[in-house]
Structure 1
């Protein structure tokens, strides 16, 4: 029974509590629990992906091999996301996501698992996991705002929490654009003393269906 209860909620609802109902109705559908056996699928176009600072690309290439970030700077990038409900290692609710970016004729996957750690959303990024970020969550004007409060890197079984003086700050905003009838997402990664090192932003449309339908079978 405890596992079933965990699977029937979502990390965002668990963290936001009553504030979850303040989200735009279409965002509630996106961030709420996905029924077992179903997949949430979104398709759209990102206005920008990556960073124009080419001197950062060798570092981003390391993250690219782990399916986290990519050494590119491109516009008008076709994009899909697939969200699947899972149970985290601690038995809590989690969502496993694969985001696919069609970059210069190649498809790059960003892979992560979003769960709960206390009052924060935790995102475990990479395959295998290379980084973890803990986010505070707020609802502002019907939109979701996530801001990282702690970041760690994983080296095998070793987890190294980065000091705040050097840790990147990740800011995510998800809102619904009624005029365009699409969900808008923006992510910006900043590093102290350097500034913006990575970003992506764009719009997509999302629906939840059976796993077979979502995969095109």
Structure 2
């Protein structure tokens, strides 16, 4: 019998996966072959109001890492796929100036931790510790690195930003909520997005077209 593939999140969590809210278990488990996980909702806010950071963020924006803006009530769509044991995500932010796409790919390290490569081609990588609290999944970065060509550079802890992500499900509102923040040493909060969405698994039309 062919074993059912597991997502990097499920493998990292192990038995703790059962502590997640049932709807979050669906979100963080592997997407079946030929299917795609689709979420549609609204980010209450995206980016940073610190305009002095925008020129630097625009460099990252062009690589699909973060958006150089400060916007509220931004509609978005996320598409999740499991490819070669990695969780591949594509998030389309419908900003007032036009759509912008954020790319990420999550894998499991040999030490049993999840690492998220952001942008194309994996410009920034963050290694996370995972925790389950009151049915929600909390991720906190323990290391952040950059890819410069073939060179991978791990940032010293004193210079490394802290990335925090929380995913939770609200039964009363029947919505999944996500919150992401990036805090840099000395500078404080340099980027964030947070909002809510509805999620479903459906046939991957893109794969059917390709086939």
Give the TM-score of the pair, scaled to structure 1: 0.92
Alpha-carbon distance in 2 for matches of 1:215, 1:59: 39
Alpha-carbon distance in 1 for matches of 2:184, 2:203: 40
User: Which of 139, 147, 150 is the matching residue for 2:140?
Assistant: 147
Q: Which residue of 1 aligns with 2:161?
A: 168
**Do the aligned residues in 1 keep the contact of 2:42 with 2:74 (CA within 8 Å)?**
yes
Alpha-carbon distance in 1 for matches of 2:207, 2:139: 27
Q: Which residue of 2 aligns with 1:111?
A: 103
User: Which of 78, 93, 100 is the matching residue for 2:92?
Assistant: 100
**Do the aligned residues in 2 keep the contact of 1:130 with 1:154 (CA within 8 Å)?**
yes
Q: Secondary structure at the match of 2:55?
A: helix
RMSD (Å) for aligned C-alpha atoms: 1.7
Q: Which residue of 2 aligns with 1:33?
A: 30
Question: How many aligned residue pairs are there?
Answer: 208
Q: Deviations over 1:97-134 (max 9, x none)?
A: 10000111400000010111122110011112210000
Q: Which residue of 1 aligns with 2:122?
A: 129
Give the TM-score of the pair, scaled to structure 2: 0.95
Instruction: Rate the CA distance shift 1:80–1:215 in 2: closer, same or farther, 3 A.
Output: farther
Alpha-carbon distance in 2 for matches of 1:191, 1:210: 40
Report deviation, 1:183.
Answer: 0.2
Mapping for residues 1-217 of structure 1, pairs under 5 Å = 5=3, 8-87=5-84, 93-117=85-109, 118-212=111-205
Report deviation, 1:152.
Answer: 0.3
Structure 1 unaligned spans of 5+: 88-92
**Do the aligned residues in 2 keep the contact of 1:172 with 1:186 (CA within 8 Å)?**
yes
Structure 2 unaligned spans of 5+: none
Report deviation, 1:215.
Answer: 9.3
Structure 1 runs of 4+ with >4 Å offset: 213-216
**Do the aligned residues in 2 keep the contact of 1:40 with 1:214 (CA within 8 Å)?**
no
